[in-house]
Amino acid sequence: MSVPIIIDCDPGHDDAIAILLAAGDPAIDLLAITTVAGNQVVEKTTLNARRICTAAAITDVPIAAGCARPLVGTRYVAADVHGDSGMDGPSFGEPTVSAVSEHAVDLMYRLLTGHPEPVVLVPTAPLTNIALLLIRYPEVTRHIREIVLMGGSTERGNRTPAAEFNMYADPEAADIVFRSGLPLTMCGLNVTHQALATPDVLARFEGLGTELGGICVELMTYFGATYRKLWGFDAPPLHDPVAVARVIDAAIVHCAEASVAVELRGQHTRGATVVDLHRHPDRPVNAQVALSLDRERFWDRIVTAVGRLGERADRADRAPRADP
């Protein structure tokens, strides 16, 4: 039985690979892709979702745009990491997959309440849409099986020394989600930095021999260059697919129970996730926190999913078209 999920994302190089993993792995039933402002403005992240779905011939999953700015404060994009388009590197043509006109939050609500079983939400972006969903439709929680998100860290941040980007971009939304009482899994930087797209990984994508495999190499090459320049990494960490992998097979991402709070006020620490792994009785557990990754199984799932989608997309490209 595949697990029904909705990805809420801001593509984003690593979001794009998360979408491919979710759409290409049989353990997942991808109900929708919703977008939000994050790595770039929401118009661009939505266009990028359409671009990667067009490239992978993902034509049966609705894409809906959501919030254009955080709940509080000003919008902050990550053009230094993801480029002006939000997904610089490959050159994409005009996408043929379109977005629906319904707002992301309304689409989520409709799909969640209409689905026969509770659905897993997989946010890989600032949590604005998810917080708004919980505020606008409080009764929706009984239709949510779990939230498995990429964001935060048990250690230091990346956008500031203390805060990870998805938390920093909308701390108030993150606070609402972490205090929602819903089952929650946090895949933070401490584990996503174990998901490095090293040269052997790029060679596996290249070896698929598909156009989509080539696009993945271009995405990771661009991402690798910015990670080298900004943080001195030898290879780029593919953060967002870690959350999808956790849903596919819990054994890929080892977690421990913890209490997690989001810092809202600190002058230098706003958006930091304050994680207590010691289970102090004063701080009740509100999350599963990812600690380690089975890298081999992680990359096997991604390469297999991209291979499956890429072959299907190439076949669709070669299929004779009916005369107009």
Task: Enumerate the active-site residues.
Answer: 239
The mark string for 5-34 relative to Ca ion (x by CB under 5 A, - otherwise) is -----x-x--x-------------------
Check binding of 164 to Ca ion (CB under 5 A). Answer: no
Q: Which does 78 bind (CB under 5 to 8 A by kind): ligand BDR, Ca ion, none?
A: ligand BDR
By a kind-dependent CB cut-off of 5 to 8 A, residue 273 interacts, out of ligand BDR, Ca ion, none, with none
Question: Among Ca ion, ligand BDR, none, what does residue 81 contact (CB within 5–8 Å per kind)?
Answer: ligand BDR
Q: Which is nearer to ligand BDR, 72 or 230 (CB)?
A: 230
The Cα 14–Cα 81 span in angstroms is 11
Q: Is 83 in the site for Ca ion (CB under 5 A)?
A: no
CB of 113 to ligand BDR, least distance (A): 27
Among 25, 146, 240, 263, binds ligand BDR (CB under 6 A): 240
Q: Is residue 56 part of the contact set for ligand BDR (CB under 6 A)? A: no
Q: Does 14 bind ligand BDR (CB under 6 A)?
A: yes
SS3 299: helix
Show the site string, 210-249: x = touches Ca ion by CB under 5 A, - = not.
------------------------------x---------
- Residues between 36 and 55 with contacts to ligand BDR, criterion CB under 6 A: 39
Question: In the bound complex, what is the minimum distance in angstroms from residue 278's beta carbon to Ca ion?
Answer: 29
Under the binding rule (CB under 5 A), the answer on residue 174 touching Ca ion is no
Rounded CA separation 155/194 (Å): 13
For ligand BDR, how many residues bind (rule: CB under 6 A)?
Answer: 15
Out of 109, 165, 223, 298, which residue is the one contacting ligand BDR (CB under 6 A)? 165
Under 8 Å between Cβ of 39 and 126: no
Going by their DSSP bridges, the two strands 273-276 and 119-123 should be labelled as unpaired
Q: Which is nearer to ligand BDR, 15 or 25 (CB)?
A: 15
Query: SS3 for the chain, per residue?
Result: CCEEEEEEECCCHHHHHHHHHHHHCCCEEEEEEEECCCCCCHHHHHHHHHHHHHHCCCCCCCEEECCCCCCCCCCCCCHHHHCCCCCCCCCCCCCCCCCCCCCHHHHHHHHHHHCCCCEEEEECCCCHHHHHHHHHCHHHHHHEEEEEEECCCCCCCCCCCCCCHHHHCCHHHHHHHHCCCCCEEEECHHHHCCCECCHHHHHHHHHCCCHHHHHHHHHHHHHHHHHHHHHCCCCCECCCHHHHHHHHCHHHEEEEEEEEEECCCCCCCCCCEEEECCCCCCCCCCEEEEEEECHHHHHHHHHHHHHHHHHHHHHHHHCCCCCC
Partner from ligand BDR, Ca ion, none binding residue 35, C-beta < 5-8 Å depending on class:
none
Stretch that binds ligand BDR, among 59-67, 157-165, 175-183, 266-274 (CB under 6 A): 157-165
Q: Give the residue with the Cβ less far from ligand BDR, 170 or 175.
A: 170
Find the part of the chain contacting ligand BDR (CB under 6 A) among 47-55, 158-166, 222-230, 266-274. 158-166
For 289, the 3-state DSSP assignment is: strand
Site of interaction with ligand BDR (CB under 6 A) = 12, 14-15, 39, 78, 81, 124-125, 150, 158, 164-166, 239-240
Site of interaction with Ca ion (CB under 5 A) = 10, 12, 15, 124-125, 240
